[in-house]
Structure formats: structure tokens, C-alpha cells
């Protein structure tokens, strides 16, 4: 069965420090991976995706993610965190078993950036 | 920019009532989705539709039905609301496109409380 795991419920980081939000996945076939962010009282927004190509994917708001096939991971990173990055982050993977229409979301990781 | 709108931000209903949640997207997307979001559980897919009048069950369809009579509109129906359906409901849409699968665009969500 295909799945995605976010092992940390919460990540705390000081403003200006680098941040990492972890994600691991399990899929059959080639993975299509996504990161979404949910700011307070708002819907989810797409951040970035990996389909194929370079293992380092750059996205919105200075975020990037590194695809690691051997470790089946797709960690979200940012070199210097901002207080405004505080939000709920979801990793997601395309469910290849349903014609590609479905997406499986992780449980989410809440990021707190302290000034 | 893609815009996905949902008919209500907050809704309070009584047990046994029939509830309609409406979602409209303005970018001619083929695919539309309904999720519910609960703390610690991430997003769970209720139903999705890949074309007008087409619908597929997601992971938790029990107690829900959907309707897609026009491409831009996807409705979620709670036939007889129950307290365990109190949740945040998110609508999303996506384009099939040449890659066969693209990121989803989300509405702001409807927080439904069933008393």
C-alpha cells in the first residue's frame, strides 16, 4: 500500500536558522511528491513538487526539497527560517494505483519559528 | 490565479439535517476533490470527480454523497448529519494536463459543526 509519513508532529526553530521538515514515502512505481502549506485559517497552498529530474526541487517562499530515492525521503528545507513560515506543512504522494487521480497526504507537521 | 471558492466558511447544523457544501473553481480544471481535515489525521479523501457527472469514492465516503452537474461545481452532501461529521471540509481542484497529474488548488475550507 502506498503511504507517506511525517515523523514529527511539531518542529521548533529559531528565526534565521535553517529548517527541515521530514517526509518519507512508500509507493510502487515512480513517485510524484508534493509539499503543501496551510497558514492559520486558510486553505492549503502548493509549495513544490518532484516529478522527475534534479533531486533538489525549488519552490515558493524560498523553500526547497530534496528527493532521496535510496532513503525514500522528500524532506522540506529552508536555509533561513522566518517567523512568517510558522504554519502546518503537509507532504503528499500521488497514488499510482488509482489512475493518478488520488493524492495521499501525511498527517502534517506544525512548524513554529521563534523570533 | 486559480480560485476555488466554498459556499460557507463556518456552518452549524443539527443532527439529522441534510447539509450541502458547495465548491466552485474558475480555471476549467477536470478534477475536483472533497477532503475532511481532522487534527492528527491529515487530509482524508471523501470523494473525487475527474469529469462532469463522474464520481469516485475516496477513503471515507460513508455518510456522504456528491454531485457534479457542471465542470466548475462540485457539491458535497451529508444526507443526515451526525456529530462525528464535525470537521473542516476542504475542496480542491486540479488539471490533468500533459503530465497526467498536477498539484491541487484548495479552497479556504468550511468548518462544519454538527450539534
Strand pairing class (A109-114; A10-14): parallel
Best CA proximity match to A19, nearest among A70, A92, A87, A106:
A87
Minimum-distance CB partner of A107 among B42, B58, B107: B42
Q: Could you tell me the CATH number of the domain that includes residue A96? A: 2.60.40.10
Higher pLDDT, B100 or A88: A88
Minimum-distance CB partner of A94 among B48, B101, B109: B101
- In CATH, the number for domain B4-114 is 2.60.40.10
Q: CB distance from A50 to chain B under 8 Å?
A: no
**Residue A53, domain extent:** 3-114
Task: Say how many Å lie between the first and final Cα of chain A, rounded.
Answer: 41
Q: What is the pLDDT of residues A30-54, one digit of tens each?
A: 888 999 999 987 889 999 999 888 8
Task: Give the pLDDT confidence score for residue A97 in this predicted structure.
Answer: 62
Best CA proximity match to B43, nearest among A86, A112, A4, A113:
A4
Q: What is the pLDDT of residues B36-95, one digit of tens each?
A: 999 888 899 999 998 999 999 999 999 999 999 999 999 999 999 999 999 999 999 998
CB–CB of A107/A81 below 8 Å? no
Size of interface A-B (CB pairs under 8 A): 49
Task: Give the pLDDT confidence score for residue B99 in this predicted structure.
Answer: 59
Which residue out of A21, A41, A46 would a mutagenesis test of the B interface target, given it has the greatest number of B Cβ atoms within 10 Å? A46
A104 to chain B nearest CA, in Å? 8
Which residue out of A102, A104, A109, A110 would a mutagenesis test of the B interface target, given it has the greatest number of B Cβ atoms within 10 Å? A102
What SS3 string covers chain A? CCEEECCCCEEEEECCCCEEECCEEECCCCCCEEEEEECCCCCEEEEEEECCCCCEEECHHHCEEEEECCCCEEEEEECCCCHHHCEEEEEEEECHHHCCCCEEECCCEEEEEEC
- Between chains, do B50 and A90 touch, taking CB under 8 Å as contact? no
Task: Give the pLDDT confidence score for residue B98 in this predicted structure.
Answer: 59
Residue numbers in B near A108 (CB within 8 A) = 42
Tell me the average pLDDT across B20-37. Answer: 94
Q: CB distance from A58 to chain B under 8 Å?
A: no
CB–CB of B93/B105 below 8 Å? yes
The domain tally of chain A equals 1
Amino acid at each position: 500500500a502506498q503511504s507517506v509519513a511525517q515523523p514529527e508532529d511539531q518542529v521548533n526553530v529559531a528565526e534565521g536558522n535553517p529548517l527541515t521538515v521530514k517526509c518519507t514515502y512508500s509507493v510502487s512505481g515512480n513517485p510524484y511528491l508534493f509539499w503543501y502549506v496551510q497558514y492559520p485559517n486558510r486553505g492549503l497552498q502548493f509549495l513544490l513538487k518532484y516529478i522527475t529530474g534534479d533531486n533538489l526541487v525549488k519552490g515558493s517562499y524560498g523553500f526547497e526539497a530534496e528527493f532521496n530515492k535510496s532513503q525514500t525521503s522528500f524532506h522540506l528545507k529552508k536555509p533561513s527560517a522566518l517567523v512568517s513560515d510558522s504554519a502546518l506543512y503537509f507532504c503528499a504522494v500521488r497514488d499510482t494505483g488509482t489512475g493518478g487521480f488520488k493524492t495521499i497526504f501525511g498527517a502534517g507537521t506544525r512548524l513554529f519559528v521563534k523570533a | 490565479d486559480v480560485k476555488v471558492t466554498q459556499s460557507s466558511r463556518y456552518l452549524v447544523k443539527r443532527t439529522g439535517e441534510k447539509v450541502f457544501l458547495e465548491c466552485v473553481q474558475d480555471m476549467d480544471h477536470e478534477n475536483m476533490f472533497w477532503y475532511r481535515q481532522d487534527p492528527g489525521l491529515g487530509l482524508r479523501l471523501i470523494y473525487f470527480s475527474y469529469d462532469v457527472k463522474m464520481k469516485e469514492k475516496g477513503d471515507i465516503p460513508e455518510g456522504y454523497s456528491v454531485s457534479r452537474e457542471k465542470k466548475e461545481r462540485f457539491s458535497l452532501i451529508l444526507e443526515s448529519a451526525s456529530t462525528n461529521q464535525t470537521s473542516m471540509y476542504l475542496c480542491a481542484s486540479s488539471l490533468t494536463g500533459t503530465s497526467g497529474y498536477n498539484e491541487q488548488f484548495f479552497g479556504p475550507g468550511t468548518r462544519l459543526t454538527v450539534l
